[in-house]
Amino acid sequence: MSHLPAEPEFEQAYKELVATLENSSLFEEHPEYRTALNVVSIPERIIQFRVVWEDDKGNLQINRGYRVQFNSALGPYKGGLRFHPTVNLSILKFLGFEQIFKNALTGLNMGGAKGGADFDPKGKSDSEIRRFCEAFMRRLCQHIGAETDVPAGDIGVGGREIGYMFGAYRKERNKWEGVLTGKGLDWGGSLIRPEATGYGLVYYVEHMIAHAGKGSFKGKRVAISGSGNVAQYTALKCIELGATVVSLSDSTGCLIAEGDAAFTPAHVNEIAAIKLARKPLTQFSNATAQFKYIPGARPWVHVGKVDIALPSATQNEVSKEEAETLVKNGVQFVAEGSNMGCEQAAIDVFEAARRGKGGVWYAPGKASNAGGVAVSGLEMAQNSSRFNWTAERVDERLQQIMKNIFELSIANAERYVKAEEGELPSLVAGGNIAGFLKVVQAMHDQGDWW
């Protein structure tokens, strides 16, 4: 099936899924699923709108707003809103496409969607962000609802933005309902939601380590990219489990722990405060003492020997060359905290190393970073029952969901992909096949394809 050539990110996500399905026995056993692939790869609906707002000087500003409602076979559309100047339809279609299968893997009733605007929150005042969020929601609110589409946050959309948008929705629609996730704890939010993606990523990798017979996180060197919500809680959980975290990064450069130095919870909390103030990592006070700051760089070629690499910043943040360096330096596990964190050429390097003597094991974001949307689903459940769960209950459910996703990925890889004796199963193939089967079977049952 052909797609628009002007959608490179979506093309990449689509081809990555198709490649793993083609390299399995799925289409041989079930040729009818080729028809299902053609149907599932076109969004059910794309909403595009203008957002007109006023800056602090009284000037009119205009941005493009989007919501790609990709698939609702398993439940209401579910997926984040991203506010970033790079936002375009290709990126949102790729994220929405990935979201369909990620949400399916959680076992919760959620469809797949993504949205946002080409608005840049950096350098904007609180008042400007509030006015933009209200203008954005006045247009979006016509297309979402607790039983229709439940957006969440993403890059550029944190608790403050969710609050402004929730308030705008409530006033505009005269309804208090769980229309957004990532809300404040006093007005419908869930405990563990901020930590969920990072914690879930670590829980997933714990199963990878145990399955491969390599012990636990204790004593392992971990390279992490990013310094936002996902990277922060990934780092904190790794440290809690006895690992040594040696890197964090942002769009301006990376911080590398030198010698025997390592990030501590205090370091991570200081970086969290810097990021909350929307400042770069150069503001980190320990940058010169224990850590080396490398401007304009990602951490992968600078971290030296690491056991685990966790890309947790944005899409396509690990190139083929960086993957080759990580493999050469002895990396054993790579799992994405970001969506499509590795370029296809990098995935090919990791998959080749999995099949070879290297034994490198790679996990795709749609499986390994599903913890965030899983707890968003649990937030929806709490909103529906008007009852808040304890942190322990949410964390227990999150751990169980990540375990289920891992086991589902293993089972489908072993069922549909030939492997040599002693070879680790492909988590890419297993995750893709498991999510795909669940969605397209529901679509078939509901008459979306035949």
For residues 189 and 376, give the distance between their C-alpha atoms in angstroms, rounded to a whole number: 9
Which DSSP category does 148 fall into? Answer: T
> Could you say which of 114, 124, 237, 438 is catalytic?
114
Residue 64's H or E segment, with its range, is strand 60-71
**CA distance linking residue 147 with residue 23, whole number of Å:** 37
Residues in Cβ contact with 249 at an 8 Å cutoff, skipping those fewer than 6 apart: 225, 226, 227, 255, 281, 297, 298, 299, 313
Give how far Cα 161 sits from Cα of 86, 153, 228, Å.
18, 8, 15
Burial 16-52 (b: 16+ CB within 10 A, else e): bbbbbbebbebbeeeeebeebbebbbebbebbebebe
Q: 399, 417, 377: which is closest to 77 by C-alpha? A: 377
Spatial contact of 268 and 236, defined as CB atoms under 8 Å apart:
yes
State the Cα–Cα distance between residues 446 and 438, nearest whole angstrom: 13
Based on the residue annotation, tell me whether 122 is a catalytic residue of this protein.
no
Residue 118 DSSP label: S
Amino acid identity of residue 40, one-letter, is V
CA–CA distance from 349 to each of 214, 325, 356 (Å)?
Answer: 21, 10, 10
Positions marked active-site: 114
